[in-house]
Chain A
Amino acid sequence: MQKYILAVALLLLVSTATTAQNTASISGYIKDKNTGETLISANIALMGTTRGTSSNTLGYFSLTNIPPGTYTLVCSYIGFEFYEQEITLEPGERLQLEIELVPQVFEGDEIVVESEAEKERQKDIGTAQVQTELIKALPSVFEADVFRSLQLLPGVKAASDFSSGLYIRGGSPDQTLILLDRTTVYNPSHFFGFFSTFNPDAIKDVRLYKGGYPAEYGGRLGSVLSIYNKDGNRNDMRGSVTLGMLASRALIEGPIKNGSYMFAARRSTLEPLLAALRSNNDNIPSKFYFLDFNGKINYDASLNNKFNLAFYSGSDRVNFPFADDGEFSLNYGNQTLSGNWTHIFSEKLFSNFVVTGSRYFNFPEFEIAGTPFERDNNIYDLSIKADLEYLPNEKHQISTGIWSGVFTLRLEDRFDNQDSFSSRIHSRYNSFYVQDTWEPNELWRIVSGLRFNYFSDGQYLRLEPRVSIEYKPSNRVRLQAAYGRYNQFLTLITNEAFSGFDVWLTSDDGVAPAYGDQFVLGAKTIPFSNYGFDAEIYYRSMNDLFELDPFLPDAAGLDYPDLFRVGNGHAYGLEMMFEKRTGRLTGFVGYTLGYTWRRFPGFNSPIFEQTSAGRYYPPKYDRRHDVNLVLTYQLSRKWKLTSAWVFATGQSYTEVLGRYAIDQPWNNDDPNVLTVGKVNASRLPDYHRLDLSFARTGTFFGLGSAEWQFQIINVYSRRNVWFYTFDFDTNPITRDEITLLPIIPAVSYTVKF
């Protein structure tokens, strides 16, 4: 495969050299004038022509085959002032530009938040972008959180208030590939799933491909979340410090010679609260904190050669002496490192090369009555990526790339000072893609691609065709359709309530990778000026879903395929979003109608047909209707109100219908046995919650800007139900509600200098 890739690259190089010399080209980077940060997906066009494009994930753009002449170059990006520049192109000229956009500011007493760019924003099918400013403005439980913000988008669901896991279009969290600066992150959570690991201060761009994602990505059945950290301010040294109730964070960024740096740190600050609680309660952890660091260093060797090195390191630690002779401790976290080289061969050939390393670890330990249990769980993922973008003419953009890596999973359990389980999986994966974006005219845009995946354990080679079509009948309407085949070689062993023990396992001999097809139809419209209305319907299949058999009591001595149950599923739904994009009041209302189903052999079968194929059932996170209303209102120059109201039909649960008791000879528990009908055929009460955030900006003793944030989570304190438990000490048994978050106030203070 490597030989083939080399041949493709050479072919692109040769064809670049033979380009006709009569036309001109414009290429370069689009940046924030204040910080020098490159801007992703900024729009650039030649006014009065049909020629335009958007910057790629490195902020680079290229317009080729332009007839010589004088043009007005325009550029737009949400939150920035409109940019225009007159240029004159000579025959054969290759104009290189660094376009610097000026962030919008409030001037005078009148507040005008306007962005014409938004009207033109390119929105690919199945994608969503969340502005980092919105992430920080949204009310959140103690700490601004990327995943909590994403959960407000149509098609993205939360399992509970306690879980930041992303359940996208009927898929479980392991069906979403999560990339930080192009590096896979395997457990992006703090506090056992309560928060995501990503520090909102350090983030530049959050891009979610909910479905039908392009050939550039692979390895997951459902979605891709790609997050880019900031490069760092290239003009001035800047910083910020935020003090919050649960966590505090700090960031510093600034220029270096031909480059920039950014370092951010965050740590929970629960200790005073825990100390206070310990004075009155026994069951309080003796240690409980999380810590993370982000960093990035950029160096521009030349205009055509740019390098950066990015890292992330985060961990959670807890020590919990839960009894006189029992203690639990856990240390888990992620570390990522990526080195990136961007090289521009010519205005027609852009390349990016990345070396990535990712580690996920968890080390739980129990010491109970002199009996220790220890686990060492490590995942190492080392990979190289190479991506090329080639523009043979104004109608085509060809992308191709490879992603090869080595995945090592080491899991060792020790019980009572003896090895009880040991597994080491060492796999290679290789993928290659080629994709053509064809715009035959201004009405049509067709993206077709093919991705090859190879996974060494089991020698699995999989082919994934992808295609998306966009038709633009008018300036205000885009009609879109997409299809894709997706494969997944990994499965996650986790629990919705607690993600600190997560274990990933792979396909292998006898355990085929899961695969599925996705079909998406969508419409992106601008019904009125400054408003947007988007709708998508989707259907996706999930086959050969392999997951740890939930009834497996002990894995010792079993063959690898015996660890799993293998089933299938499908999901379909409708998503709509109505958005007000500019003005004093901005925000959106999103609606999702969703269905998701799973089936595993013998599971959810009629009680006397348990060897059958099983019936389809909805997983717990299945919700029929979801409504999210997110509004931001600029009350005055200093005050801003952000609100989020969520309504969702209740999650599914299994109604207990009958019971009996038994007398097992090996214990005195006399366990109660429950009988049920169909699994998850009942619904919890509807979920709804209103969160508010008031932000006031000001100055910090003239040294910098400052912001107070006052938040109320669950304003009307609705006690939404998480699940039911049963009390068998009563006869008849009684059902108790385990509820989610009550009303929670929070306050934070941020200083920027």
Chain B
Amino acid sequence: MTMKNIFLTILSLMFIVSSCDLYPQDEYEEFYVVESYLVANRQLPLLKLSTTAPATEVYNFDNLGVNNATVQVFLLEGAEGTNPEQVFSYTNTAPGIYEATVQHDVLPTRTYQLNITFPDPVEEVNAFTIVPDTFSVIGGVPSSIVYQSTEQLEVTLSESSYPGRQNVYIFNTIAGEPIVENLTPLYADFYEDEDDLEDFANLSSGILNEANFDENPDGTVTVRYPWLAVAYFGDSRIVANTIDDNIYDFVRSQSVQLGGSTLSPGEIQNVIYRMEGAIGVFGAIASDTIQTDIQRPSF
């Protein structure tokens, strides 16, 4: 074989190899979407059931809500896989909205199962959650505090636990009077339109591991609440939430879908779901709330 033939053979092979698509793009696939958050010691929450929409089409929950599904939540005797101790049926009260037909206070540290069935075609959704242990804010908090003063708001949380790992928290600050005039300087600078007022009215800390906080000898932990989490002067409610594994996985993966991680820009992954037959979140939290008045500094 001459050099010319070898060269042409290599070129032909290259063309064949490189023209094969080893990794074709998938087509859009519709999924059921579930959203519900159990809160320890509170009534069973409503459940939203819908489908995804193609990215190129208008998104409207009312049009995408799924009705006439059979929705049940089971309180299990023990861990995942054990028999139901109680069964709570849900009813379809609005497009895509289901509410429990009986009153039930969600029990901390217990395992709940979500089961949804669809008649046509026959499909089933299952998910499990372990409700975090309850805790409370102890020692009280000042009724008012001056924004960015040296005396920072400190919150002490009673001891609690979650099976298999440390507690994981999300804090949020809910403003009592979310108007432009009450915005703190940073958020006043960020403010662009009315939608921002609503977004700033309930600010989330993101996920925080308990190991970030000061551990006290009695097992309680103390959190110094950062000024960054305060968007409005005035009455504010500060909510401490501990979250289950379902929410932990959902939030940590959803928050980096469009960047903010070590992933390259445009390298988007699906959210981590702990659910069979649908996507979304069937989560559980335990929470406690304090109230304080964030006062303007005198400068």
Residue A604 is within 8 A (CB to CB) of chain B in the complex? yes
Picked from A325, A369, A550, A651, the residue with its CB within 8 Å of the CB of B263 is A550
| Chain B contacts for A510, CB-based, 8 A | none
Residue B224 is within 8 A (CB to CB) of chain A in the complex? yes
- Closest CB in chain A relative to B255 CB, distance in Å: 7
| Chain A contacts for B56, CB-based, 8 A | 732
Residue A547 is within 8 A (CB to CB) of chain B in the complex? yes
Residue B52 is within 8 A (CB to CB) of chain A in the complex? yes
Residue A574 is within 8 A (CB to CB) of chain B in the complex? yes
| Per-residue A-contact encoding for B34-59, CB less than 8 Å = 1, 0 else | 01010100000000101111111111
Whether B59 pairs with A732 at a CB distance below 8 angstroms is yes
Picked from A325, A621, A677, A726, the residue with its CB within 8 Å of the CB of B185 is A325
| Chain B contacts for A574, CB-based, 8 A | 14
Cα of A651 to Cα of B265 in the assembled complex, Å: 11
Whether B24 pairs with A681 at a CB distance below 8 angstroms is yes
| Chain B contacts for A654, CB-based, 8 A | 266-269
Report whether over half of chain A's contact residues are helix, strand or loop; otherwise say mixed. Answer: loop
Whether B267 pairs with A324 at a CB distance below 8 angstroms is no
- Closest CB in chain B relative to A550 CB, distance in Å: 4
Cα of A391 to Cα of B206 in the assembled complex, Å: 64
Whether A556 pairs with B211 at a CB distance below 8 angstroms is yes
Cα of A524 to Cα of B201 in the assembled complex, Å: 67
- Given A368-B186, A415-B226, A554-B207, the answer on whether A655 and B30 have CB atoms closer than 8 Å is no
- Given A369-B230, A593-B14, A675-B279, the answer on whether A681 and B25 have CB atoms closer than 8 Å is yes
| Chain A contacts for B152, CB-based, 8 A | 416
| Per-residue A-contact encoding for B244-266, CB less than 8 Å = 1, 0 else | 00000001111111100111111
- Closest CB in chain A relative to B204 CB, distance in Å: 4
Chain B: which residue is nearest A557 at the CB level? B211
Chain A: which residue is nearest B279 at the CB level? A607
Whether A554 pairs with B209 at a CB distance below 8 angstroms is yes
| Per-residue B-contact encoding for A643-665, CB less than 8 Å = 1, 0 else | 00000000101111111111111
Whether B35 pairs with A547 at a CB distance below 8 angstroms is no
Whether B61 pairs with A661 at a CB distance below 8 angstroms is yes
Whether A657 pairs with B54 at a CB distance below 8 angstroms is yes
Picked from B27, B30, B230, B241, the residue with its CB within 8 Å of the CB of A666 is B241
Q: Which of B112-120, B130-138, B270-278 has 4 or more CB atoms under 8 Å from chain A?
A: B270-278
Whether B31 pairs with A607 at a CB distance below 8 angstroms is yes
Residue B210 is within 8 A (CB to CB) of chain A in the complex? yes
Chain A: which residue is nearest B64 at the CB level? A660
Residue B158 is within 8 A (CB to CB) of chain A in the complex? no
Chain A: which residue is nearest B281 at the CB level? A662
Whether B186 pairs with A323 at a CB distance below 8 angstroms is yes
Picked from A554, A661, A666, A722, the residue with its CB within 8 Å of the CB of B204 is A666
Picked from A325, A669, A684, the residue with its CB within 8 Å of the CB of B184 is A325
| Chain B contacts for A657, CB-based, 8 A | 26-29, 54-55
Cα of A732 to Cα of B148 in the assembled complex, Å: 41
Cα of A663 to Cα of B96 in the assembled complex, Å: 14
| Per-residue A-contact encoding for B208-242, CB less than 8 Å = 1, 0 else | 11111010000000001011101000000001010
| Per-residue B-contact encoding for A310-337, CB less than 8 Å = 1, 0 else | 0000000000000111100000000000
- Closest CB in chain A relative to B102 CB, distance in Å: 22
Q: Which of A551, A620, A657 has the most chain B CB atoms closer than 10 A to its own CB?
A: A551
Whether A679 pairs with B54 at a CB distance below 8 angstroms is no
Whether B269 pairs with A604 at a CB distance below 8 angstroms is yes
Whether A593 pairs with B256 at a CB distance below 8 angstroms is no
Picked from B53, B224, B285, the residue with its CB within 8 Å of the CB of A418 is B224
Whether B52 pairs with A659 at a CB distance below 8 angstroms is yes
Whether B264 pairs with A619 at a CB distance below 8 angstroms is yes
- Closest CB in chain B relative to A340 CB, distance in Å: 36
Residue B172 is within 8 A (CB to CB) of chain A in the complex? yes
| Chain B contacts for A415, CB-based, 8 A | 212, 226
Residue B188 is within 8 A (CB to CB) of chain A in the complex? yes
Chain B: which residue is nearest A621 at the CB level? B264
Picked from A494, A496, A663, A731, the residue with its CB within 8 Å of the CB of B58 is A731
Picked from A368, A610, A668, the residue with its CB within 8 Å of the CB of B202 is A668
Residue A602 is within 8 A (CB to CB) of chain B in the complex? yes
Residue B33 is within 8 A (CB to CB) of chain A in the complex? yes
Whether A496 pairs with B265 at a CB distance below 8 angstroms is yes
| Per-residue B-contact encoding for A722-748, CB less than 8 Å = 1, 0 else | 111110000111000010000000000
| Chain B contacts for A602, CB-based, 8 A | 272
| Chain A contacts for B214, CB-based, 8 A | 418
Cα of A323 to Cα of B51 in the assembled complex, Å: 39
Q: Which of B14, B64, B210, B265 has the most chain A CB atoms closer than 10 A to its own CB?
A: B265
Residue B69 is within 8 A (CB to CB) of chain A in the complex? no
| Per-residue B-contact encoding for A546-562, CB less than 8 Å = 1, 0 else | 01101111111110000
Whether B55 pairs with A674 at a CB distance below 8 angstroms is yes
Whether A675 pairs with B264 at a CB distance below 8 angstroms is no
Cα of A102 to Cα of B257 in the assembled complex, Å: 59
Residue A200 is within 8 A (CB to CB) of chain B in the complex? no
The 8 nearest A-B residue pairs measured at CB: A557-B211, A677-B26, A723-B266, A620-B264, A371-B228, A653-B266, A370-B148, A667-B204
16 cross-chain CB contacts under 8 A: A369-B186, A371-B227, A553-B206, A556-B210, A556-B211, A557-B210, A651-B266, A657-B54, A658-B29, A660-B51, A661-B61, A663-B48, A666-B171, A674-B270, A677-B26, A723-B264
9 extra A-B contacts, CB within 8 A, seeds A619-B264, A678-B26:
A324-B186, A369-B184, A496-B264, A553-B255, A608-B273, A654-B266, A659-B59, A675-B279, A723-B264
B interface list, Cβ under 8 A from A: 14, 17-18, 22-31, 33, 35, 37, 39, 48, 50-61, 64, 147-148, 152, 166, 168, 170-172, 184-190, 198-199, 201-204, 206-212, 214, 224, 226-228, 230, 239, 241, 251-258, 261-273, 276-277, 279-281, 285
